[in-house]
Amino acid sequence: MFAGPIQELVDELGRLPGVGPRSAQRIAFYVLEADRDSALRLAQAIVEVKDRIRLCERCFNVAETELCTICSDPRRDRTIICVVEDPRDIVAVERTREFHGTYHVLGGALSPIDGVGPEQLRVRPLLVRLGVEGVAEVILCTNPNLEGEATAMYLARLLLPIGVKVTRIASGLPVGGDLEYADELTLGRALEGRREVNG
């Protein structure tokens, strides 16, 4: 145990994901020894993110105003929605610069073990958006694991009767990689999803 405020900081840091007790201690003492300005900058950054960041009212991405930067960009194609589990997935898709539509953040994936069912995800708001935004295609961009696949399947069943086009991202090999280093699960999936070559 350390003197009151230090122990408090260690305990709070220890709650953060990926920070164990020893890292918490190291960070706490770093903060203690750092000059006052840089410590305050950290504190201010935490306050700012809590005060100024909220969720986009349309897609539930992180935002500074009612709408996130993507939803408020008039150049984005609002007829295509890419459904992701988490705001961080938006960043990943944006890095491709291949997608010019809008997003919808579910806030997770179906996982009964963790008590997550459709009611815990932002499914209903998605259905509402389909009604009012004239959406032509929904891309299911959930993770290619068991829970993500189940979520994609659930959404497909919900959306197809509405008459919207529903697509699922493909699974396969990393570009620029070597076949011999691919794990057999991924390679197997890539074989399953092979395409005919039209030379």
Interface residues toward other proteins, by CB under 8 A: 110-113, 115, 117-118, 146-147, 149-150, 153-154, 157-158, 183-185, 188
Contacts by 64-72, CB closer than 8 A, 24 or more apart: 70/94, 70/102, 70/103, 71/102
Picking from 110, 126, 118, the residue whose alpha carbon sits closest to that of residue 60 is 126
Comparison of 98 and 184: residue with beta carbon closer to other proteins: 184
Distance CA 74, CA 83 (A): 19
Distance CA 138, CA 86 (A): 16
Q: Tell me how far, at minimum, the Cβ of 65 lies from other proteins, in Å.
A: 34
Comparison of 89 and 147: residue with beta carbon closer to other proteins: 147
Comparison of 119 and 196: residue with beta carbon closer to other proteins: 119
Q: Tell me how far, at minimum, the Cβ of 128 lies from other proteins, in Å.
A: 17
Comparison of 80 and 141: residue with beta carbon closer to other proteins: 141
DSSP 111: B
Q: Tell me how far, at minimum, the Cβ of 183 lies from other proteins, in Å.
A: 8
Distance CA 94, CA 142 (A): 15
Q: Tell me how far, at minimum, the Cβ of 143 lies from other proteins, in Å.
A: 14
